[in-house]
Structure 1
């Protein structure tokens, strides 16, 4: 006799009702996941257990009329993981991405999260994950701000003012109680204006738009970088104040003087090892480096100009007291945050448990009795 299996479907409104917009909860959840990462109680894809995910990247040309071709941010990605601790859950984030989506009124990426029983593989939940991804993406640099930023920081600059930039702001601001001014910088001024208005209305802060990256950077005590791959950014050393914290949730370029003067704190050392391994396996390491946030730093490590990854600091080490992050007020720190599926699992799990407790979502039947079990 087989076993009845059902799972919880959670739409975006269900995810909202379960608390995904509770920013402080998201930040605390991310901090807990960082502790598990540094302790090793997790698994991600690949033989090294640290792969970001498996990508379908479309070719530039194809003889097949229906096969998609390459375009800005056009890909499908599967991101499986196991997360230990109290979560003790397996699952996968899955998404398709295409910059052209905005022309038809859709987000650039459309994401779903599956949670599975770690022993049987049965689905426990299938949920809308755009807000989960945004929530955890914002929460990760907020943990960086919690442990690395100067507590007297008064000016926060946001580079990248789209949905992810907004999510980063909502989370980061909870960790910077002394901020008085927010500078919004975006390739499209319209988005910068929209975010500045949102900040003024909802937080009562002085929020302005600054189209010059130099001017936006020069004033900042903390800089949040959340621009897409299609908007390359170039920071110069002379623009950055002593004591500034750069929270890099998106790609950026810096002149070598700035890279050399900055102390790097990584989200998770193992992930960056995996990126370097993939770059080597790709056959074009330099091109691969150009596609990932840590690429410019990996180049400096290869050249012997920055400490090797194994001699570097992760935020998890800072959280559990194994290492120091900020050691003086004049130190410039860059926190590199690339995103990992374990954060989606951690946040998704807590939302799932809240949904079960409050009766949120819809239970769907997988089977009353799996036919395969009847035939065995």
Structure 2
């Protein structure tokens, strides 16, 4: 009558053992997730069921001595969602972020993921989510590379040589089999060279580090952008070659001429519409746009220079064959990804199932008998 509840705890080493770093499998699961998004078999936060999440952003000043104040990339966020299909589960990614963490030997963000039974709300698993989040962030442009990039792409450019772009690059490389050269750009040349050395060792292809943005873009067939939020990247239209695919997972700015002539594919148009709704509700759309990855597109849509989001293409529609992605080898294509809880849920669920099958992790007890039943 009063069932006990146990749930699985997965530490970061447990997540590694459960396959969280399997980039090729992650791309497959992310593609499955895009298909469910395209069919509408999901829910996310907010009244529109499409919000990225709920953020706590700290004030610049406070009269309370213990209340945190604003700092670079300092916030907390909750990203809840439900995903249908074979997953059929609810979940929430929770994280705190602070650029100052590096001085303490910590990553910028510290993340956890909870999966819950869709009917009772009981916890199924609590897992370390830094590697999970990075993997699914990489898996998304991996799917985009499969469906939008030219299959014979030979030169890949990595713009921003941090851990997120390492995950993006790893996923992209599972889909592109003709790559011969990789250009690694970072404002810190030592980071670019370190990334290039890793590429050479891991993939046995030519790789070079650069600290000049133009050198990072020119001649690239596929570009993965995951640069710093503190200094959004700018690139020129003329740097982007015919047939190039730009996969954007971080803030950027570019010339209007590129965005109005490239083929644009969004991760999910309903998510982008939710961002615009939030911008309107903020009372200062322009300032809000400056803080989100899709800002450059939203400004052009408002000005009537790009199609409205509901008339645009989402990757789920491309995956499901409802709308075309790349239509000719000469198209310049830009893909914009802003992050969705459903991908944390799907990849987290996949790792959870692997852990159950292989006896990975630690079972924790919530209660033997609920006191309030």
Give the TM-score range, shorter chain: over 0.9
* Residues 1:161 and 2:161 aligned together: yes
1:26 is matched with which residue? 26
Looking at structure 1, the residues matched to 371 and 329 of structure 2 have their Cα atoms a distance apart, in angstroms, of 65
Looking at structure 1, the residues matched to 366 and 187 of structure 2 have their Cα atoms a distance apart, in angstroms, of 46
1:346 is matched with which residue? 346
1:265 is matched with which residue? 265
Task: For residue 76 of structure 2, give the secondary structure of its aligned residue in structure 1.
Answer: strand
Looking at structure 2, the residues matched to 322 and 117 of structure 1 have their Cα atoms a distance apart, in angstroms, of 32
1:234 is matched with which residue? 234
Alpha-carbon shift at residue 209 of structure 1 (Å) = 0.7
Confirm or deny: 8 A CA contact 1:57 1:74 kept in the other structure. yes
1:170 is matched with which residue? 170
2:142 is matched with which residue? 142
Looking at structure 1, the residues matched to 228 and 49 of structure 2 have their Cα atoms a distance apart, in angstroms, of 26
1:251 is matched with which residue? 251
CA deviations over 1:123-166 (Å, ceiling 9, x no partner):
00000000100110000001000000011111100001100011
* Residues 1:320 and 2:356 aligned together: no
Alpha-carbon shift at residue 44 of structure 1 (Å) = 0.2
Looking at structure 2, the residues matched to 9 and 158 of structure 1 have their Cα atoms a distance apart, in angstroms, of 34
Alpha-carbon shift at residue 175 of structure 1 (Å) = 1.1
Alpha-carbon shift at residue 203 of structure 1 (Å) = 0.8
Looking at structure 1, the residues matched to 186 and 345 of structure 2 have their Cα atoms a distance apart, in angstroms, of 30
2:109 is matched with which residue? 109
Looking at structure 1, the residues matched to 353 and 176 of structure 2 have their Cα atoms a distance apart, in angstroms, of 30
Looking at structure 2, the residues matched to 80 and 190 of structure 1 have their Cα atoms a distance apart, in angstroms, of 37
Task: For residue 144 of structure 1, give the secondary structure of its aligned residue in structure 2.
Answer: helix
Looking at structure 2, the residues matched to 223 and 18 of structure 1 have their Cα atoms a distance apart, in angstroms, of 30
Which stretches of structure 1, 4 residues or more, deviate above 3 A after TM superposition?
Answer: none
* Residues 1:87 and 2:87 aligned together: yes
1:11 is matched with which residue? 11
- Tell me which moved more, 84-93 or 320-329: 320-329
Looking at structure 1, the residues matched to 270 and 29 of structure 2 have their Cα atoms a distance apart, in angstroms, of 20
2:181 is matched with which residue? 181
Looking at structure 2, the residues matched to 171 and 192 of structure 1 have their Cα atoms a distance apart, in angstroms, of 19
Where does 1:52-63 land on structure 2 (aligned, <5 Å)?
52-63=52-63
Looking at structure 2, the residues matched to 68 and 205 of structure 1 have their Cα atoms a distance apart, in angstroms, of 46
Looking at structure 2, the residues matched to 256 and 18 of structure 1 have their Cα atoms a distance apart, in angstroms, of 44
Looking at structure 1, the residues matched to 187 and 282 of structure 2 have their Cα atoms a distance apart, in angstroms, of 31
Looking at structure 2, the residues matched to 301 and 144 of structure 1 have their Cα atoms a distance apart, in angstroms, of 22
Task: For residue 260 of structure 2, give the secondary structure of its aligned residue in structure 1.
Answer: helix
CA deviations over 1:45-81 (Å, ceiling 9, x no partner):
0010000001000001111111111111100000110
Alpha-carbon shift at residue 308 of structure 1 (Å) = 0.7
Confirm or deny: 8 A CA contact 1:6 1:366 kept in the other structure. yes
Confirm or deny: 8 A CA contact 1:187 1:231 kept in the other structure. no
Looking at structure 1, the residues matched to 190 and 339 of structure 2 have their Cα atoms a distance apart, in angstroms, of 27
Task: For residue 196 of structure 1, give the secondary structure of its aligned residue in structure 2.
Answer: helix
Looking at structure 1, the residues matched to 258 and 109 of structure 2 have their Cα atoms a distance apart, in angstroms, of 32
Confirm or deny: 8 A CA contact 2:270 2:310 kept in the other structure. no
Looking at structure 2, the residues matched to 322 and 297 of structure 1 have their Cα atoms a distance apart, in angstroms, of 22
2:311 is matched with which residue? 311
Alpha-carbon shift at residue 190 of structure 1 (Å) = 2.0
2:75 is matched with which residue? 75
Task: For residue 371 of structure 1, give the secondary structure of its aligned residue in structure 2.
Answer: coil
Looking at structure 2, the residues matched to 92 and 232 of structure 1 have their Cα atoms a distance apart, in angstroms, of 28
Looking at structure 2, the residues matched to 90 and 326 of structure 1 have their Cα atoms a distance apart, in angstroms, of 33
Task: For residue 64 of structure 2, give the secondary structure of its aligned residue in structure 1.
Answer: coil
Alignment size in residue pairs? 373
- Tell me which moved more, 309-318 or 271-280: 309-318
2:200 is matched with which residue? 200
Looking at structure 1, the residues matched to 231 and 198 of structure 2 have their Cα atoms a distance apart, in angstroms, of 23
Task: For residue 125 of structure 1, give the secondary structure of its aligned residue in structure 2.
Answer: strand
Looking at structure 2, the residues matched to 98 and 188 of structure 1 have their Cα atoms a distance apart, in angstroms, of 20
Looking at structure 2, the residues matched to 190 and 10 of structure 1 have their Cα atoms a distance apart, in angstroms, of 34
Confirm or deny: 8 A CA contact 2:262 2:333 kept in the other structure. yes
Confirm or deny: 8 A CA contact 2:193 2:210 kept in the other structure. no
Alpha-carbon shift at residue 18 of structure 1 (Å) = 0.6
Confirm or deny: 8 A CA contact 1:222 1:245 kept in the other structure. yes
Confirm or deny: 8 A CA contact 1:9 1:126 kept in the other structure. yes
5+ residue gaps, structure 1, are none
Alpha-carbon shift at residue 228 of structure 1 (Å) = 2.3
Looking at structure 2, the residues matched to 123 and 164 of structure 1 have their Cα atoms a distance apart, in angstroms, of 28
